[in-house]
Amino acid sequence: MEFAPLLLLLFAFTLAAFLGFELISKVPSQLHTPLMSGANAISGITIVGALIALNAGGPGVARWIGLLALIFATINVVGGYLVTDRMLAMFRKKKGGE
Amino acid sequence: MAVLINLLYIVASILFIFGIKMLGSAGTARRGNLLSSLGMLVAVVATLLYSGLSWWMVVTGIAIGALVGGVAAVRVKMTGMPELVALFNGSGGLASLLVGLAELSKVHAGGIEGYLAGLFAQSGVRVPDWFALAAIAGTVIIGAVTFTGSLIAFGKLSGKLDGKPVVFSGQKLITAVVALVALFAGLIMVVGADSGVGLAGGCALVLLALAIGVLMTLPIGGGDMPVVISLLNSCSGVAAAMAGFIILNNVLVVAGCLVGASGLILTVIMCRAMNRSLPNVLFGGFGSGAGPQGAAVEGEMKPASTEDAYYVLEAASHVVFVPGYGMAVAQAQHAVKELAGILEDNGCQVEFAIHPVAGRMPGHMNVLLAEADVPYEQLWEMDAINDVMESVDVAVVIGANDVVNPAAGEDPSSPIYGMPIINVHQARTVYCLKRGKGTGFSGLENALFFRENTRMLYGDAKETLSELVGQFKG
Which of chain B's residues have a Cβ under 8 Å away from the Cβ of A18? 261
Which of chain B's residues have a Cβ under 8 Å away from the Cβ of A69? 94-96, 98-99, 102
The answer to whether B16 contacts A42, with C-beta atoms less than 8 Å apart, is: yes
Nearest to B252 among A46, A69, A78 (CB): A46
Q: Is residue B346 part of a domain?
A: yes
> A89: distance to nearest CA of chain B, Å?
7
In this predicted complex, what is the ipTM? 0.93
Cα–Cα distances in Å, from B371 out to B211, B335, B364, B377, B396?
Answer: 37, 12, 11, 15, 20
Q: Is residue B458 part of a domain?
A: yes
Domain boundary residue among B252, B283, B314? B283
pLDDT of residue B324: 92
Domain boundary residue among B283, B316, B349? B283
The answer to whether B66 contacts A52, with C-beta atoms less than 8 Å apart, is: no
pLDDT at B158 over 90: no
Q: Is residue B292 part of a domain?
A: no
Distance CA B178, CA B189 (A): 16
Which of chain A's residues have a Cβ under 8 Å away from the Cβ of B101? 65
**In a shared domain, residues B47 and B99:** no
Q: Is residue B291 part of a domain?
A: no
The domain tally of chain B equals 3
Distance CA B424, CA B402 (A): 12
**In a shared domain, residues B203 and B266:** yes
Q: Is residue B8 part of a domain?
A: yes
Please confirm, yes or no, whether B393 is among the known catalytic residues: no
At residue B145, φ and ψ (nearest 5 deg) are: -60, -45
Beta carbons of B454 and B432 less than 8 angstroms apart: yes
Nearest to A38 among B17, B36, B73 (CB): B36
The answer to whether B253 contacts A16, with C-beta atoms less than 8 Å apart, is: yes
> B35: distance to nearest CA of chain A, Å?
10
Distance CA B425, CA B407 (A): 11
Quick one: average pLDDT of B319-326? 93
Quick one: average pLDDT of B345-368? 91
**In a shared domain, residues B172 and B247:** yes
SS3 of B393, please?
coil
**Cα angle vertex B97, ends B95, B102, to 5°?**
90
What string of DSSP letters covers B216-265?
Answer: HHTTS-GGGHHHHHHHHHHHHHHHHHHHHHHHT-HHHHHHHHHHHHHHHH
Tens-binned pLDDT, residue by residue, of chain A (98 aa): 577 888 889 999 999 999 998 888 778 888 899 999 999 999 999 999 999 999 877 778 899 999 999 999 999 999 999 999 999 998 865 544 43
**In a shared domain, residues B377 and B422:** yes
Inform me whether the C-beta atom of residue B354 falls under 8 Å from chain A C-beta atoms.
Answer: yes
Beta carbons of B85 and B225 less than 8 angstroms apart: no
Residues B256-275 as b/e (b if ≥16 CB within 10 A, e otherwise) read: bbbbbbbbbbbbbbbbebbe
Cα–Cα distances in Å, from B423 out to B42, B43, B186, B308, B379?
Answer: 49, 48, 50, 23, 16
pLDDT of residue B292: 54
Q: Is residue B147 part of a domain?
A: yes
Beta carbons of B382 and B422 less than 8 angstroms apart: yes
Specify which residues B397 forms β-bridges with: B322, B432
At residue B220, φ and ψ (nearest 5 deg) are: -100, 130
**In a shared domain, residues B223 and B322:** no
Inform me whether the C-beta atom of residue A4 falls under 8 Å from chain B C-beta atoms.
Answer: no
**In a shared domain, residues B207 and B159:** yes
The answer to whether A52 contacts B256, with C-beta atoms less than 8 Å apart, is: no
Inform me whether the C-beta atom of residue A17 falls under 8 Å from chain B C-beta atoms.
Answer: yes
Residue B433 domain boundaries: 306-473
**In a shared domain, residues B103 and B10:** no
The overall average pLDDT reported for chain B is 90
**In a shared domain, residues B322 and B464:** yes
**In a shared domain, residues B274 and B312:** no
Q: How confident is the model at residue B466 (pLDDT cuts 50, 70, 90)?
A: very high
Instruction: Give the number of residues written for chain A.
Output: 98
Quick one: average pLDDT of B190-195? 89
Interhelix angle B81-123/A80-96, rounded to 10 degrees, is 130
> B390: distance to nearest CA of chain A, Å?
24
The string of pLDDT tens digits covering residues B219-238 is: 888 788 889 999 999 999 99
**In a shared domain, residues B387 and B279:** no
**In a shared domain, residues B87 and B163:** yes
Q: Is residue B297 part of a domain?
A: no
The answer to whether B73 contacts A38, with C-beta atoms less than 8 Å apart, is: no
Q: Is residue B461 part of a domain?
A: yes
Query: Which of B 146-165 lie inside 8 A of A, CB atoms?
Result: none
| Least trusted range by pLDDT, from B98-102, B163-167, B352-356 | B163-167
Which of chain A's residues have a Cβ under 8 Å away from the Cβ of B69? 74-80, 82
The answer to whether B99 contacts A46, with C-beta atoms less than 8 Å apart, is: yes
Picking from B149, B168, B137, B128, the residue whose alpha carbon sits closest to that of residue B234 is B149
Query: Which of A 76-95 lie inside 8 A of B, CB atoms?
Result: 76-95
Interhelix angle B129-158/B225-247, rounded to 10 degrees, is 150
CATH number at residue B402: 3.40.50.1220
| DSSP secondary structure code for residue A20 in this structure | H
Beta carbons of B190 and B130 less than 8 angstroms apart: yes
| Least trusted range by pLDDT, from A22-26, B135-139, B175-179, B449-453 | A22-26
Quick one: average pLDDT of B447-454? 90
Q: How confident is the model at residue B139 (pLDDT cuts 50, 70, 90)?
A: very high
At residue B83, φ and ψ (nearest 5 deg) are: -60, -45
What string of DSSP letters covers B33-57?
Answer: HHHHHHHHHHHHHHHHTSTTB-HHH
Nearest to B131 among A6, A42, A53 (CB): A6
Inform me whether the C-beta atom of residue B2 falls under 8 Å from chain A C-beta atoms.
Answer: no
Domain boundary residue among B250, B283, B316? B283
Q: How confident is the model at residue B80 (pLDDT cuts 50, 70, 90)?
A: confident
**In a shared domain, residues B166 and B263:** yes
Distance CA B269, CA B140 (A): 28
Which of chain A's residues have a Cβ under 8 Å away from the Cβ of B261? 16-21, 24
> A19: distance to nearest CA of chain B, Å?
7
